[in-house]
Every structure is written in C-alpha cells, then in structure tokens.
Structure 1
Amino acid sequence: MKIKVSDYIVNFFNKNGIDTLFTITGGFAMHLNDSFGRHSNYKIHYQHHEQACGYSAVGYSKTNSKPCIVCTTAGCAATNAITPCLVAHQDSLPVLFISGQVKSTESIQKINTKNMVLRHYAGADCDIISMVTPVTKYAKEVLNIEEVKDVLIEAFNNLINGRPGPVWLSIPVDIQGLLMEETDIPILKKANIENNFSVNNFENIYELLKKSERPIIIAGNGIKLGNCIEKFKKFLNHYNIPVVVTILATDVIENDNKLFCGKIGLIGDRAGNFAMQNCDLLISLGCRMAQGIVGYREDWFAREAKIVYIDNDQNELEKTNTHYDLKINMDLNNFFDAFYFDAKEYSSWNNKCLHWKNKWQFETPKDLSDANGINPYHFLKQFYYAAPNNKITIASSGSIVTNVWHMVNIKENDKFLHSSQGDMGFELTCAIGAQIAEPEKLVTPILGEGSFQLNIQELQTIVQYKLPLKILLFNNGAYGAIEITQTNFFKAKFGVDYSSGLSFPDSKKIANAYGINYISVRKNEDIENAINTFLSYDEGAIILEIFCCIQGRVPRLNAIKNDDGTFTNRPFEDMDPFLSREEFEKEMIVKIV
C-alpha cells in the first residue's frame, strides 16, 4: 500500500510521541501543511513569524522537556527560525525543525558542484542545511524517496538520545508529495546510557566529602534536562550539602529550602557568590562551568576548593578554564541512583551559608523611591511576595532580566525560564509555548518595552488560542541595559532612547488594538492594588505596564578605585555596593585577594 511522503513523516513522529506543532504555512511546505492539518493527534498552533514559532517551541520544551516540531516553508522562512534553533542548541532542547524546500532537482544542494557554486537558482531556495549544521545535532536534506525512512530514524534517535538538542530536516516539495511504500513505523526508544567512569571516581568523591568542612553544590541546567530534580533533592537532603544555582537551574530548588544559598556567577547575588567562593569542596552537577560561572580570573574562582565536575557531555569536560581536580563523564540520573555513602555533618558550614542567605537574599538598591519611575526591584519584591506558587516566570533580555533573577522567589512547583542568548523578542513567544505545555500554571513573561517590539505580532496568537498570560511590561523609555553600558564606558548614548534616536509606541493602544486587557502603574503607593488586580484577572490575557526607572543589577561586580586613581577588579564575593572592609574581612573565610 502506498502513502504520501508527507503523511508518513507526520505519522512517524506522532507514533514516536510528538504531538505538538508550531508553524506558519507556506507553498514549499504545502504537503507537510496538509498532512499535519489532517492529522487528528497533533495540537497545532499557527503563528505570525517563524522566529516566534521557534521560540514557542523552545518555551514548550523548556517547560516539560518534551520534543515538539517547528514547521516552516523554504528560504527566508527557514532562516527566520535559525535564531531559536541556536537557543535550542545552546540550552539543550529537543526541538525538531522541518522546513520545506524547492524541488529536489532545483535545490542548491543538488545543483552546485565543485566547479560551479551558485548563490541562487530557483524559487525560495537556500542551502539551509549548511547554515544550521553548526547549531544542530543532526541536519539533513532529503533528496530522494529511498532515504526517507532512514533519515527519520536517524533524526529521531538524535532528538531523544545523548545531550538534548535540535534536529533539522529539509524536505523538498516534490519529495513531500511522492508516494512511498507504507512500511511499519518503528517505535524508537531512548538508548541505555553508557558512562565513562569507574567505582574509584565515587570513592574519590566520598573521600573528598569526608575531608571537607565547607562543601557546596553547583546545580546546573543538566538537572532539569535529565528530569532528575526529585533525585537531586533527595541527594541534597541525604548529604545535607548547601547548594547554589545557575540562572538556567533557578527552579531546581525552592528559595525557602534550608540548603539553598543563592545565585552565582557574573550576574549572581552576594549570598550565592559568598558561599561558592568560601567553600573548600565544589561539586558541579550538570553545570557547563562557562565563563559566566567561573569568571575572568581562574585563580580567583573557588580558590581554596577542590573541584569535582560531573557532566554527561565529554566536550564540556575538556575545558581548562579553572582548576578541576576530578572530572566525571556521567548521566546525572545514573549518578544519583548509584552514589550513596554515609553522610557527614556540616552544621557549622550550613549555618554560615544560612547566615549569608538571611543577610543578603533579595538585596535591593538603597533608593526605592518613584521620583524617576518605580524601581523594578521594589515592584518585583512585592510581586513575588504576592504571587502564588505553581507559576512560570520568563525573563531573557535587557536590564530587567537581572533584576528579575535577583528577586524571583521560587516556591513549590514554580518554574523559571531564561534564554542563554538573552535575546529580545523571546519572552512573549516563549510564554506561549510554556502556557501550552502547562495550561494550569500561571505564566508570566517579564520584559521591557524594547523586547516587546520584537514579536509583538504574537499578541494575536495569544488572543487566537485564548492563552491567559499575565504579561509584566517594564517601561523605562529606553534600551536600559545598553544605555547603562554606553554611559559607563563612553559618557554618551546612541540609539537607546528618544533623545538619541529611538522611540517606542503607546503600549495601551497596542493592547487595545489586540483586545487585550491593560492596566498600568506609575507610583509606589499604587503597586499593591495593581498587582492584586493583575493576579486576580481571569478573563484572558492581561498586560500590566510598570513605568520604571533605569536600574542596573544590585549587587554587581565592579572595580575598586585605588588611592592613586587606578581601578582593581574584584572577585565574585566582593560586590558593589561594597561592604566596609571591616565587615568584608569578618564575613570571609578563605584568604582575601
């Protein structure tokens, strides 16, 4: 019996558990569009920009760790989806991108030879596979019908095995419409994970734990990607070791957990960085140990600690950006299942970490007045105090993202989504995917008026699918983050606000045009009422616009001005606003640099 190739593709991925699609229809994907549309088991979401489709897919997979599909037509439609593919690659998400293509006989991949390299030949063609290969686990253009089944198997195996990441298939329009033999669709299973470690590795970790007086755990995104948050918490409770989190792992532990110390790195908080820097044993679980965590001076990072680095990607373990004492290539699920020894008591150290947390958690600027607009820290502190649990916060770009990360208060069943690219236009569209993945959760994208302009058209998608998003829109009248940078470095500004050539529309008029409820707040005295109205609204999406001042992150890494007028950079634990040297020395345990 014969079946159309596009029908087989759609059936194949659904039989293997994928049921969610984000798409824009187009001519070179017409058979795929038809096959998806006729299939009764797909939840299809039609959007207004391919980048938005990709970001929504990213939000979906970030929320539930499940694979989903983005389908575009050829050429510029496909290239529009490359940025979210990059995010899926760097944030390790199982998103399948399928793009249409011109006829296989007219494809640039088929036409070009060693002696003839054309830029363009037919229709909306482009060599999309060459473009996306660096940011995918597997990328393939199907140029003949005989390879369809094998390509689909290879694509799906890459999607579900190893470190997660995106896959890209390019299907020419003529191949889509051909008839092929309807063979049985194989149901593919995740392969058993082989780990490159020995029992001695476990013994070595245990010996380090026995000798340690001040251990700390860095919780990374791999804990979420491995769906092992509960195993992680059980591990923490057994060994009673304090933990700090990276921004992508913000939600692996609640803020009120006695073992939670804070947030770390270049944009971390004082409590988290103090705990990390004063430890004598650091165990990294599923954290890439990137520059934002280690910093620019490897000799300053956790400088009196032994460092154990556990990750399922051998490539990450090859880094030499700081002093690693033990590297283990292992899946975290297997690690948590297999690593079990008697626990040691670290009560004195735990109390010290709790002291730092109580002293510095949710640190705010001194001036919280509304003279120049509401201070974001002041608003966010009240918002997270009032907000219920079981919510999803999305923050990605601009000055507001660090304000949010410092103030977000993770409660039971909360999630926090962030893009490692810090890309504008991410929050609103990511929230669409998150709400689709978790329809019962309160989903709140938090963004600035600059990011709002990118993918603003997706407000109609929110209306179309009746998504009850609660959108916090911070308006400081500028690209706040880059204005801070320009002012600090150049004492001038260009293209960041009205006076330097950039302006923003009236958000209330935009909300009204889309039929979305809108409220705003300009004064501190009105914040509580605005938040209550915002949280209690239950008739669809709502936008709360906060007219705010430009506020950089507090605390932040900075340099100290010396007596001779020169500046000296400081390590993670010494953050601006600087503690008095007397207080700083009193709090420190390791040698001060």
Structure 2
Amino acid sequence: MQLNGSDVIVECLLEQGVDTIFGYPGGAVLNIYDALYKYSDKIRHVITAHEQAACHAADGYSRSTGRTGVVLATSGPGATNLVTGIATAYMDSVPLIAITGNVTRNLLGLDSFQEVDICGITMPVTKHNYIVKDPAKLPEIIREAFRIANEGRKGPVLIDIPKDITAAMIEYEKQEPLKSEYHDPDTTEAEIAEAAELIKNCERPFIYAGGGVVAADAVDEMKELVRKCNAPVALSLMGQCAYDNSAENYIGMLGMHGTKAAAKAVSNCDLMIVLGSRFSDRVLCNPNTFAKNAHIIHIEIDPAEIGKNISVYHHVTGDVKHAIARLNELLPDMQHPEWYNEVMGWKRDYEVHMQPIEREDEVLPDQVIAELDRLTDGKAIISTEVGQHQMWAAQYYNFKCPRSFASSGGLGTMGYGLGAAMGCKVGNPDRTVVNIAGDGSFFMNCNELSSLAKHKLPVIELVFENDVLGMVRQWQRLFYGKRFSQTNIERGTDFMKLAEAFGIEGVRITKKDEITDGLKKALEYAAAGRPVLVDVVINKDVNVLPMVPAGADVSQPIMEIDLEN
C-alpha cells in the first residue's frame, strides 16, 4: 500500500515493537511529528527540555528494559545536540536508533538554514549511519538499522532523513523484524571446550564480569558458572548489576576505585575468567603488572577487543550468554576452599569505608547510599551522573537485580543521569528510579526537572551538594599541589526554591540524623507519583577511596588521604 514517508517511519517503528520515542520537534521533522500525532494511541512521545537529554533518556530506556531506545530530533542544532548522547551510547554498547531530519534533498550541500552533515559528524560514534536519498529504500533502511544496532556488540545507529522524503509517497508492506545474529556456535565450540579444560585444572579461579553480561541477558548463566567454579566475583562499573552485590563471594568493583580485595584477587589468582568486559584503562591501571601471575580467559563478542589493551592466554569470541551456558554444561561442580577463604579474608580486612571529616553529625555519602540501599532492598534502578557520586553509588549500593544501573562508563558524560533516569522510569513505571548526582553535573541538566514535572515522572533526583567539582578537585589535591583551579563552583543556588520553581517536591538533608527520614519522605513522594529533588549537603573534602593513581599497579591503591597537609 502507498503511505507517505512519515507514516512509513512510524509503521516501521511499530514493526520493531517500539512504544516510546524521546525527542524534540523542529521544522525538518514536522511531517514525522504530524504522523506521531495520528499514531499517538500506539506510540508515546516524551519531549525533554533539550535534545541531549532526550538521547540520554532513550539510552536509559534501553539499558533498563533491554529494548532499543529511539530518539528523534530536527536538523542542524537539533541533530548536533544528540552527538554527546550518541557517543555515550556508543562507548557503552547501548542499542539506540537516532532519527534526525534534514533539509530537502535539493538543498543538501548548500549551507542551507539548519543544515549540517550529521552523518559525517557521527561517523566515529555510531555502528552505522544513513542519509536517506531514495524514498523507496526508507523501510529497508529502518529495518536494517534496528538489526545492526542489536547485532554483535550493540550500539547506536543514526538515520538522517531529508524533509521531502518524509512527504513522499512510498510503497509499504508490513514485515517481521530482521533477526540479529549474536554468535557462530560452530566456530566457538572448540574455544569453549578449551576454556572449560583450563577452568577444570585451575586452583585459584577469579571471575570478573562487565556490562556485556547484562547486555546479553546472561545474568542467570553467570550465576551458575560462579557456583560451579566456587570463585570470588568482581564487576566493572558497567557490570554493576550483573551479579548480586550482596552475595558472600562478591568482593566489589575492580579498577581505579575498586576494592583492595578485588585487586589482590587479580594479583594472586591463577586463572582470571573475564566475561563481557573490554579491559578499559580504568580497570587495568597498569597493563604491565595486571594479573601477571594468572592465565586470562577473555569471553567477548567483539573480536576487536581481544588482545587490544592486554594480552590474554585464551579467548572465546562470541555471545557471552551462549558461551557461559555451554561452559556450564561442560564443567563439574568444583571447590577451592583454601583460595576461597583467603579471598573472603581480604574482603573482611579491606572493607571499603569513608574517612570521617570534621563533625560527628556530618553527612557522609556512604551512609546516604547505604540507607537508600536498605530502604529499597537493593532493587531500585539507579542512574548516575559522572564524578565522585558515581563511584560512591557503585561502591555502596548493593544491586540485586539486572538492568538496574545506568551510568556513563566509557565516555564519562556529566549530565547523563537525569535524562537516563527519565528513560528508566518511562520503561519501568512500577520500579523506584533514583538518579544520584553531584552538584557539578546537576547544573548541566537541572532544566530537565521541568520534564519530570511535565510528564509527572516520579524520579528521585538525589544531589550531593558540596559546592565543588569533587573528582577533579580530588586529583588537584593529590597531584597538583592543592591548586584548586576552577573546581570551587559555589553558585549559591537554593535547591529547595529551585524544586519549588519547577513544581516538584524538595527534601534537604544536612545532618546524619536526617538521612533516614529524608530518604523515606522522598520515597513516599515518588510512590505517590510526585518527582522529588533531594539536596544532600556534604563536606567538600570527602574523597573517593580506594584510588589507584594513573599508571600505578591496581593492587596498590591509596586507602587514605591526609587532609591536614
């Protein structure tokens, strides 16, 4: 049947099971928005205050639901405002479709009003991108984009559509979604079998998992592998909800701000089993000394990551869910009591804690996050901005459920979390969603409080207010002679008045004995369907510990910082 291009776009989205789009209208996408008006009973559109937040919302929606996020923006500045969000999704392997409008085909390349080469701009940060120049190819391109976004290592795909394409009459016939290929079982079988033999013959196994386990929905398979191996477990930042953080054998995050127990396990294991993680520099710290006494098995879907940052003894290139399931079939139940008890001793001896600061009644972030964890039973969806608070969330919230953590790991995008929290809440309306922020990040996206109010999204925005850019300041303290250049922000904003101005609830916590009641009040507001801003006032000298200096051995973290000198 014949439909105009905009109707074809929406019909193709419906084919893919899309029920929500995040975006912001403009001239080049008016035809698409007209179609969305007609299809409003089938697809929900969530408008944000800024296109970047819309892209982060689509990202958070995807991470928390396992479905492909969709964001829509107009040409020129609307499209370029998506770039940081697209790059964030690319670095963290999040399946996302970005649809941008452009000027009509006859105006392309003429520096027309609000024209930009968004395909050229986003080429390094997308798995693939398209500019549609033939109306007849529009359905095929949209279907292929969804397949590419979800095939192999997942990621964002951009489709740039000139305005006259959205008005053209196109032949449309409904099709079933194209299937994505995740692995080739025939080529990985021998690799898996060899990995099983290495695991059977090791004495000190250590399992380290990343975001790939969550992306592959392999959490249950990993849990069974851990049981069979009787191994201690550590996670990357991106893998925080891949394993129950309250489990006895979970020894914390690994890397620059990971636990010393995890670092000692890396240094003393004889076999390190790495599941769906890419060995970022924040994990390796010093690749020349990392796991130097161990054989490393790397199970990873992206062949480009094998041996890229560190040499490994053996690898399995393929879908981690399939690989772990096959390993579980090949492995017997094993016990390593001497090794296991030694690692559990390290976990007790090097428990992560915060240095006290000045006053006994002063609020410490670990107390706030630990109480939030207790009140939500570790089952809330937590998003974060980027900075000290991000590390505190990973260190002190005990994630119990998969797809419960949304944070910018690879790109480190300040301003990511509030948009992501909106997407998480839209995709999971029955779950508690909390965005944990620092005031530095908060000032990058506080305009999105208006989006919470508009859409009545009962997200809890929890801000640690210390009037500094805490993580950068921490580095200045340690490595720049305490020359705190431009990290004391001190904007003088009254957060409670700001909440009132945006039409949302406000809660302020300034003393230790206010933590429980303040968080309970925030959770009650959210349960009643009301968004809330929680202002937690903390000391500017609270630091993230442990901390491995750049280039140092991961097993030698800084455990305390002298605040007097």
What TM-score bracket applies, with the shorter chain setting the length? over 0.9
8 Å Cα contact 2:143-2:177 kept in structure 1 = no
Larger RCO of the pair (alpha carbons < 8 Å, separation 6+): 2
Deviations 1:247-283 (A, max 9, x none): 1111111122233122101121222222222211001
Deviations 1:498-549 (A, max 9, x none): 5xxx624221111000111111121223223223322333331122211101
Equivalent position of 2:559 in the other structure: 577
Whole-Å Cα distance in 2 between the matches of residues 217 and 422 of structure 1?
A: 25
Greater mean alpha carbon deviation, residues 70-79 or residues 287-296: 287-296
* Secondary structure of the structure 2 residue equivalent to 1:454: helix
1:436 aligns to 2:437 (yes or no): no
Whole-Å Cα distance in 2 between the matches of residues 418 and 496 of structure 1?
A: 22
8 Å Cα contact 1:82-1:132 kept in structure 2 = yes
TM-score (normalised: structure 1): 0.89
Equivalent position of 1:267 in the other structure: 257
Whichever residue aligns with residue 482 of structure 2, its letter is: K
Q: CA deviation at 1:357?
A: 2.1
Q: Which of these residues, 304, 307, 331, is aligned with residue 296 of structure 2?
A: 307
Equivalent position of 1:530 in the other structure: 518
Q: CA deviation at 1:175?
A: 1.1
1:5 aligns to 2:12 (yes or no): no
8 Å Cα contact 2:95-2:154 kept in structure 1 = yes
Q: CA deviation at 1:369?
A: 4.6
Unaligned runs of 5+ in 1: 112-120, 560-568, 580-593
Equivalent position of 2:278 in the other structure: 288
Q: CA deviation at 1:318?
A: 4.1
Greater mean alpha carbon deviation, residues 192-201 or residues 60-69: 192-201
Whichever residue aligns with residue 405 of structure 1, its letter is: A
8 Å Cα contact 1:137-1:166 kept in structure 2 = yes
Q: CA deviation at 1:86?
A: 0.3
Deviations 1:17-44 (A, max 9, x none): 1221001111110111111221121121
Whichever residue aligns with residue 312 of structure 1, its letter is: I
* Secondary structure of the structure 1 residue equivalent to 2:70: strand
Q: CA deviation at 1:558?
A: 4.5
Whole-Å Cα distance in 2 between the matches of residues 472 and 371 of structure 1?
A: 22
8 Å Cα contact 1:218-1:244 kept in structure 2 = yes
1:408 aligns to 2:397 (yes or no): yes
TM-score (normalised: structure 2): 0.93
Q: Which of these residues, 235, 245, 267, is aligned with residue 255 of structure 1?
A: 245
8 Å Cα contact 2:36-2:43 kept in structure 1 = yes
Whichever residue aligns with residue 104 of structure 2, its letter is: K
Deviations 1:138-180 (A, max 9, x none): 1111122232233223222212322111110111111111112
Q: CA deviation at 1:393?
A: 1.2
Residue 10 and residue 308 in structure 1: after superposition, are their counterparts in 2 closer, same or farther (change >3 A)? same
Whole-Å Cα distance in 2 between the matches of residues 233 and 557 of structure 1?
A: 29
Equivalent position of 1:554 in the other structure: 545
8 Å Cα contact 2:3-2:172 kept in structure 1 = yes
The equivalences for 1:56-75 within 5 A come to 56-75=57-76
Equivalent position of 1:126 in the other structure: 116
Whichever residue aligns with residue 104 of structure 1, its letter is: R
* Secondary structure of the structure 2 residue equivalent to 1:495: coil
The equivalences for 1:177-216 within 5 A come to 177-191=167-181, 193-195=183-185, 197-216=187-206
Equivalent position of 1:360 in the other structure: 350
Q: Which of these residues, 226, 231, 238, is aligned with residue 236 of structure 1?
A: 226
Whole-Å Cα distance in 2 between the matches of residues 415 and 184 of structure 1?
A: 34
8 Å Cα contact 1:372-1:549 kept in structure 2 = no
Whole-Å Cα distance in 2 between the matches of residues 141 and 508 of structure 1?
A: 45
Residue 554 and residue 198 in structure 1: after superposition, are their counterparts in 2 closer, same or farther (change >3 A)? closer
The equivalences for 1:107-186 within 5 A come to 107-108=108-109, 121-186=111-176
Greater mean alpha carbon deviation, residues 347-356 or residues 434-443: 347-356
Residue 413 and residue 317 in structure 1: after superposition, are their counterparts in 2 closer, same or farther (change >3 A)? closer
8 Å Cα contact 2:31-2:163 kept in structure 1 = yes
RMSD of aligned alpha carbons: 2.1
* Secondary structure of the structure 1 residue equivalent to 2:238: helix
Whole-Å Cα distance in 2 between the matches of residues 558 and 67 of structure 1?
A: 37
Equivalent position of 2:19 in the other structure: 19
Residue 184 and residue 444 in structure 1: after superposition, are their counterparts in 2 closer, same or farther (change >3 A)? closer
Equivalent position of 2:476 in the other structure: 486
Residue 175 and residue 322 in structure 1: after superposition, are their counterparts in 2 closer, same or farther (change >3 A)? closer
Aligned pairs, number: 553
Residue 370 and residue 393 in structure 1: after superposition, are their counterparts in 2 closer, same or farther (change >3 A)? farther
* Secondary structure of the structure 1 residue equivalent to 2:183: coil
Whichever residue aligns with residue 555 of structure 2, its letter is: E
Whichever residue aligns with residue 336 of structure 1, its letter is: I
Whole-Å Cα distance in 2 between the matches of residues 146 and 382 of structure 1?
A: 56
The equivalences for 1:73-88 within 5 A come to 73-88=74-89
Q: CA deviation at 1:355?
A: 2.1
The equivalences for 1:27-66 within 5 A come to 27-39=27-39, 40-66=41-67
Equivalent position of 2:92 in the other structure: 91
8 Å Cα contact 1:450-1:504 kept in structure 2 = no
Greater mean alpha carbon deviation, residues 71-80 or residues 9-18: 9-18
* Secondary structure of the structure 1 residue equivalent to 2:239: helix
Residue 128 and residue 413 in structure 1: after superposition, are their counterparts in 2 closer, same or farther (change >3 A)? closer
% same residue: 26
Equivalent position of 2:501 in the other structure: 513
Whole-Å Cα distance in 2 between the matches of residues 272 and 71 of structure 1?
A: 42
Q: Which of these residues, 418, 425, 438, is aligned with residue 448 of structure 1?
A: 438
* Secondary structure of the structure 2 residue equivalent to 1:258: coil
Whole-Å Cα distance in 2 between the matches of residues 482 and 57 of structure 1?
A: 28
Bigger CA radius of gyration: 1
Whichever residue aligns with residue 56 of structure 1, its letter is: A
Residue 554 and residue 46 in structure 1: after superposition, are their counterparts in 2 closer, same or farther (change >3 A)? same
1:349 aligns to 2:331 (yes or no): no
Whichever residue aligns with residue 55 of structure 2, its letter is: G
Deviations 1:74-133 (A, max 9, x none): 00110000101001111111110000101111112xx5xxxxxxxxx2110011100111
